[in-house]
């Protein structure tokens, strides 16, 4: 899952990934979640995935509405840097960006935000190595 645009939101604590068809299940006594990750508006940018479930959290949106969401941990790659980040799975279809990076992810990556700039990060040098590092399984290895 390379080449995503993300909204940087220093006012949001948690990060969020646009997902649908979210189904919790157990594997070897561990809690997992299966979902469709929507990484763009095209059908080719949808991937059926599964990942270990870290938690369930109640998130309060900017309009005050509370929603319980599943949380997964994956590796975020920004340029040539990679670090673990927790994402809640949520429907973001009405949002401009399919991924939201909150303050916890920014702090964990030791990032500084300059609101005067946009799209300043280059793509990683070796994107082929990234999927193996994410901890998310792409089912059938292909988009749905």
The gap from C-alpha 65 to its chain's centroid, in whole angstroms, comes to 21
Q: Which two tokens stand for residue 106?
A: 């920014």
pLDDT in tens, 43-69: 567 888 999 999 999 988 777 889 899
Q: Residue 103: phi, psi to the nearest 5?
A: -65, -35
Instruction: Spell out the domains of the chain, with CATH numbers in brackets.
Output: 6-143 (2.40.70.10)
What is the SS3 assignment for 8? strand
Q: 0.85 cut: is pTM over it? A: no
- Residue carrying the six token digits 């973001």: 92
Spatial neighbors of 35 by CB under 8 A, at least 6 apart, are 19, 20, 21, 22, 23, 48, 49, 50, 51, 70, 89
pLDDT in tens, 83-131: 899 999 998 888 888 888 999 998 998 888 888 888 777 765 655 545 5
């Amino acid at each position: 899952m390379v080449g995503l645009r993300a909204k940087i939101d220093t006012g949001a604590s948690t990060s969020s990934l646009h997902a649908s068809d979210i189904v919790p299940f157990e594997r070897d006594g561990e809690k997992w979640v299966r979902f469709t990750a929507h990484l763009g508006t095209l059908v080719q940018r949808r991937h059926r995935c599964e990942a270990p479930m870290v938690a369930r959290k109640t998130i309060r949106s900017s309009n005050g509405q509370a929603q319980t969401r599943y949380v997964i941990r994956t590796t975020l790659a920004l340029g040539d840097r990679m670090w673990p980040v927790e994402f809640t799975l949520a429907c973001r279809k009405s949002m401009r960006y399919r991924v939201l990076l909150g303050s916890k992810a920014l702090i964990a990556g030791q990032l500084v935000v300059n609101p005067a700039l946009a799209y300043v990060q280059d793509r990683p040098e070796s994107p082929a190595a990234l999927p193996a590092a994410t901890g998310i399984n792409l089912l059938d290895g292909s988009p749905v």
